[in-house]
Amino acid sequence: MKKIILPFLILIFAVACGLPASAPTEAPISPEIDSPPPPFLGMWMNDIETYVFTETNLYRVIIRPESGQVNEEFSEIILYDPLNNHISLRKVWIRVNGESVGFDSPGYTLTYFIDGDSLQLGLGTETEFASAPDPAVFLRK
């Protein structure tokens, strides 16, 4: 009896392993909704500061004419809330006159106000957004 059962089990195992697996079913993919680009994208300047926004990053340059000092800051955009005009960011690096420097808190927020080709920003903390813009106005370039 053992002589018959062992070959029978081997045959069942071989047949089971040789059967093609059922093709995985994929969940239907919903078409992506094209949302309009953020209104702050591009380069904004005044006499001292330049902001360059992409969809994922912010590059900021401050030139201090009295000292000739150039501060550069590169940040990643973590969250963009178009309903409240809020941007949450994380600093990646800061340079002063081309030299890397440290910084205390990488997280911060911006509240933006756009009127045509004019931009005003309000700087907030990591957890609180500014309620009003700073008086500085930046023009789209």
For residue 129, give its domain range: 42-140
CB contact set of 12 (below 8 Å; sequence gap of 6+):
none
CATH code of residue 54: 2.40.128
Residue 108 lies in a domain: yes
Give the chain's domain count.
1
Does position 2 have pLDDT exceeding 90, yes or no? Answer: no
Beta strands in the chain (DSSP E): 42-45, 49-53, 57-64, 69-81, 86-96, 99-101, 107-115, 118-124, 138-140
**Strand pairing category for 42-45 and 49-53:** antiparallel
Quote the pLDDT of residue 63: 97
DSSP state of 102: -
Residue with the two structure tokens 């933006």: 112
Residue 2 lies in a domain: no
> Is the pLDDT higher at 103 or at 28?
103
Residue 70 lies in a domain: yes
Model pTM score: 0.74
